[in-house]
Amino acid sequence: MALSTLDDLPDRRTVEAQDVFFSTTDRKGVITYANETFLRLAAMDEGDAVGSPHNTIRHPDMPGGAFRLVWDELEAGRPVAAYVVNRALDGARYDVLATIIPIEGEFLSVRVRPSRGDLAEVILQAYDGVAGLEHALRESGVGRRASAERGAAALAEGLAELGYPSMAAFTRTVLPLEVEAWAADSQSGAHVMGELPGEDTAGPVVTAAREVVLGAREVAAHTEHLSTLVAGMGASRGRLPESLTALRRAQADLEELAALPGDAGGEAPAIGERAREVSEECGAVIADVEAVPLRRLEEAVGDLALRLAITQVLAQMIVRFSQELLARGSRGSVRSSELRLLSSALMQQLDHAESASVRAAELLQVVPELLAVCGRGIQSVRGRADGLIPQTPDPAREAAGAELAAGEAGMFTHTAQSAQSALQEAAESWDALAQHAAGLSQAITEVDVEALKRAVQRIREGVAGRHSSATR
């Protein structure tokens, strides 16, 4: 049955909003730890899980190409998010959004339920298409590994068609949206935060982790306006190739003008020289446009949003895991080790968020001005090109017998008008970018995560205290 067919699935297991769970694996994908919620949903006990390959719970309809793309990101040292359909040992299907992070030689995977059904459905449909391709390849004798490689290429193409040019771009875009929806699903956070009868019951680890969850949400809210602006800029950036194409066409026309023979009219040599100068200025504007680091700005802001989203997921995982341990009275050193790993991953993500914030702030100091410079350059070239036509000889005023001169003058006029038209197109394509530049110049991106880091340090101290108590 297709993964995207969700109706009337008798064996489907529901993942609730409070079901935040995780596992750790080694570099070969062998499970080294799984928390209680993971075991419950997978219908496993700890003995089933630890030491088993993670693909034990892989749903047979999941395409190998999806996991190939995930592994490529992890091997590159990047976090990755993916919609994953699992099959528990008892045969039940359960769908998750997995966020996987390379940390300390292991892979930490935290899972929540997908809260953006619209996004998940489209991706599951893409999975179905790739799974069909892989099945056909295997039926034709292609090996499983090679089929997965072909599937990964096909899935990457499908994601690009959906607006995600890379798996990294998919993660940067989808995870913050999912975390935002997940928080909304939890009714302002009370359900997911898992309130206990009293704060003294929760302990310092849970209390500090809650502070991180709420603090990261607050910081994310402060940067939401910037993300909206940059998303608009990203949409407008689609006009950038149009501007460049028009500018290059105008430059070609201007170079043609400069090369026309001198008998196109008495003023042609002087006009040709001016056309050459305008062509050179147009070339300089093209170089300026190509140098504007719009993509780098988008990536920096996207990375900031991504790291803040991962921070919320990890902090909430610490809350839930600590509550599991408190409920069981478990204070074992292995569990403290897992808490330490979670807190280390949390600090790592805050460091990345801080770095992305600095990069975005630096770029915001230069991008709006560079956009303005390019806009003025386009208008300058356009104005100088307009000045060429009035000086162009009018074929109607040529002597009736001067057919050659009239023809050359007409060619000059036609080419000059073509350059003007191209420059007008370039200016119009640039307007959308210019409109966003003003908003970007007033945006504030550098965020203060020191308070969050102090809370993480308290988590670490609480974990160290648990470990010390457990080993006495």
pLDDT at 400 over 70: no
What secondary structure does DSSP assign to 319-362, as a single string?
A: HHHHHHHHHHT---HHHHHHHHHHHHHHHHHHHHHHHHHHHHHH
Partners of 82 in the beta sheet?
Answer: 98
At 24-57, the pLDDT tens digits run 999 999 999 999 999 999 999 999 899 999 999 9
Is the torsion defined by CA of 244, 250, 254, 257 positive or negative?
Answer: positive
pLDDT at 399 over 80: no
Please check whether residue 220 is in contact with residue 350, taking contact to mean a CB–CB distance below 8 angstroms. no
Please check whether residue 99 is in contact with residue 79, taking contact to mean a CB–CB distance below 8 angstroms. yes
pLDDT at 461: 83
pLDDT at 305 over 80: yes
Average pLDDT of span 71-85 = 96
Average pLDDT of span 396-419 = 59
Percent of the chain with pLDDT over 90: 43
Q: HSE (CB half, 13 Å, CA atoms) of 183?
A: 19
At 192-226, the pLDDT tens digits run 444 443 444 457 788 888 888 888 877 777 666 66
Percent of the chain with pLDDT over 70: 79
d(CA 303, CA 173): 9
Buried b (16+ CB within 10 A) or exposed e, 167-186: bbbbbbbbbbebbbbbbebb
Partners of 47 in the beta sheet?
Answer: none
The residue among 219 and 252 whose pLDDT is bigger is 252
Decide: helix, strand or coil at residue 158: helix
How does residue 403 score in pLDDT terms, banded at 50, 70 and 90? very low
Task: List the single range of 212-216, 430-434, 440-444, 462-466 with lowest mean pLDDT.
Answer: 440-444
Block residue for tokens 């968020």? 353
d(CA 437, CA 349): 29
User: What is each CA distance from 472 to 328, 466, 468, in whole angstroms?
Assistant: 19, 10, 6
What phi and psi values does residue 389 have, to the nearest 5 degrees?
A: -70, -45
pTM, two decimal places: 0.83
Burial of 433 (0-12, 13-18, 19+ CB in 10 A): buried
Give the chain's end-to-end CA distance (angstroms, integer): 53
What phi and psi values does residue 163 have, to the nearest 5 degrees?
A: 105, 10
Decide: helix, strand or coil at residue 86: strand
Output the six-digit token pair for 386: 């307009």
Is the torsion defined by CA of 49, 53, 56, 59 positive or negative?
Answer: positive
At 226-247, the pLDDT tens digits run 667 666 666 666 677 888 899 9
CA 383 remoteness from chain centre: 39
Average pLDDT of span 253-271 = 68
pLDDT at 191 over 60: no
Per the document, the length of the chain is 472
Please check whether residue 368 is in contact with residue 330, taking contact to mean a CB–CB distance below 8 angstroms. no
Block residue for tokens 């007409």? 410
Task: List the single range of 113-117, 412-416, 422-426 with lowest mean pLDDT.
Answer: 412-416
What phi and psi values does residue 402 have, to the nearest 5 degrees?
A: -90, 65
User: What is each CA distance from 191 to 118, 194, 205, in whole angstroms?
Assistant: 23, 6, 19
Decide: helix, strand or coil at residue 275: helix
What phi and psi values does residue 109 have, to the nearest 5 degrees?
A: -120, 115
What phi and psi values does residue 406 have, to the nearest 5 degrees?
A: -60, -40
Partners of 80 in the beta sheet?
Answer: 100
Please check whether residue 461 is in contact with residue 203, taking contact to mean a CB–CB distance below 8 angstroms. no
DSSP label at residue 284: H
Decide: helix, strand or coil at residue 90: coil
